[in-house]
Amino acid sequence: MPRQDDATLALTKQLIAAQSVTPNDAGCQMLMTERLSVIGFEIEALNFSDKHGTVQNFWARRGTDGPCLAFAGHTDVVPIGDLKRWHSDPFEPTERDGMLYGRGAADMKTSLAAFVTAIEQFVTEHPNHAGSIALLITSDEEGPSTCGTVKVIETLEARNEKIDYCLVGEPSSTKQLGDVIKNGRRGSLGCELTIIGHQGHVAYPHLADNPIHHCGRVITALTEIEWDQGNEYFPPTSFQISNIAGGTGATNVIPATTTLTFNLRFSTEIDEEGIKRKVISTLDALDLEYEMEWNLYGLPFLTEKGSLVTACTKAIKSECGIDTVLSTSGGTSDGRFIAPTGAQVVELGPVNETIHKVNECVALETPAKLSRIYAGILRELLT
């Protein structure tokens, strides 16, 4: 059991207590920057706005030389869901049965606290460390992600400020801390496909063309496509239909259109244009009238075994005594905005079993252990 005065546990609790439901930061970033300023970080607020509102971000850096090791994460959390199903107030950090409960405990306020305390410890030990340490923190990861990390990266790229290594604090572990790290993610491409028919009366089908009836052919054809076979790091590309919408609300009317919404999680073996070509050629072969609207949510990225992966596996082995597994599974993360700059990107954080659920939690020992892992990575790369 960790001591009550454990610095990382205490900071984690402070962050959980802030009701930072996306895109609100609720003071989390100030808690972090006040401590970072004390140990020599230059803090830069980079806030951006669009139709969704204003998003708070900051970029903090200690040092000007390379290599630059950046810790990236988000202060926003998802909504709490059904409050009655929580066993304690989601914004009142609660210790119970060896666990710390609260919204954001796993995703990802424990990681944020561990960033800060690991850096504090490392700077105390190595005030003249090599290279630079940076933090890229947003409050827009759980929301539309339009004014957060993507905008900060655009700002850094415009002034040619490069990140060499990026450690994203997403909850990557599955059964115990450090058993899995993400060294890549699949791309995500969505589409709304509207099949166009001719509206009419159900009693006179010969005078209409029912687009709902065409859905069967479309679904069969699209689900039978072999997109790729994956590779050493990625499973084959996955195609999934998430919604079908059609009908006028009346029982005696053949509708004019039907819309299928689908998503592809794709590997590095195929690109966006290759997917589109396969879909379009398949639909054209069915002799349909249709319209499409594509949405690219993120490109796939991969960090192969190298300096950052080695540093992470060594630090995990030292602290946890286990051999970590590399994985590219799961959804998208803000790593998708950072990797295209050329940075090595790895995600390493708490066990993800309870993320986005009611009664979200981490083991009480996790904050301190994760801080020591991050400190080990700093020592490996910047000393």
Q: pLDDT per residue over 347-359, tens digit each? A: 999 999 999 999 9
Question: Residue 1 domain-assigned?
Answer: no
The span from the CA of 35 to the CA of 150, in Å, is: 25
Which one of the listed residues 6, 25, 120, 141 is annotated catalytic? 141
Angstrom distances, CA of residue 128 to CA of 63, 232, 363, 378: 9, 40, 34, 13
**Co-location of 117 and 170 in the same domain:** yes
Residue 114 reports pLDDT greater than 60: yes
**Co-location of 245 and 98 in the same domain:** no
CATH number for the domain that contains residue 338: 3.40.630.10
Total tally of structural domains belonging to the chain: 2
- Per-residue pLDDT, 216: 93
What percent of the chain has pLDDT above 90?
Answer: 93
Q: Provide the residue range defining the domain that includes 284.
A: 187-298
What is the pTM assigned to this prediction? Answer: 0.89
What percent of the chain has pLDDT above 70?
Answer: 99
The annotation places the binding site at 74, 107, 142, 170, 356
Note if 5 is an active site residue. Answer: no
**Co-location of 75 and 109 in the same domain:** yes
Mean pLDDT of 12-40: 97
How confident is the prediction for the chain on average, in pLDDT?
A: 95
Secondary structure of residue 334 in the 3-state scheme = coil
Which amino acid would we find at residue 248? Answer: T
Of 252, 268, 298, the residue at which a domain comes to its end is 298
The span from the CA of 328 to the CA of 338, in Å, is: 16
Report yes or no: 198 and 288 within 8 Å, Cβ to Cβ: no
The span from the CA of 12 to the CA of 31, in Å, is: 11
CATH number for the domain that contains residue 236: 3.30.70.360
Note if 50 is an active site residue. Answer: no
Nearby residues of 366 by Cβ (< 8 Å), 6 or more positions away: 100, 110, 177, 350, 351
Question: Residue 213 domain-assigned?
Answer: yes
The annotation places the binding site for Zn(2+) at 74, 107, 142, 170, 356
Of 283, 298, 313, the residue at which a domain comes to its end is 298
Cα Rg of the chain (Å, integer): 24
Using alpha carbons only, give the angle 130, 135, 136 rounded to the nearest 5 degrees. Answer: 140
Question: Residue 376 domain-assigned?
Answer: yes
What is the band of 318 on the pLDDT scale with cuts at 50, 70, 90? very high
DSSP state, 325? E
- Per-residue pLDDT, 51: 86
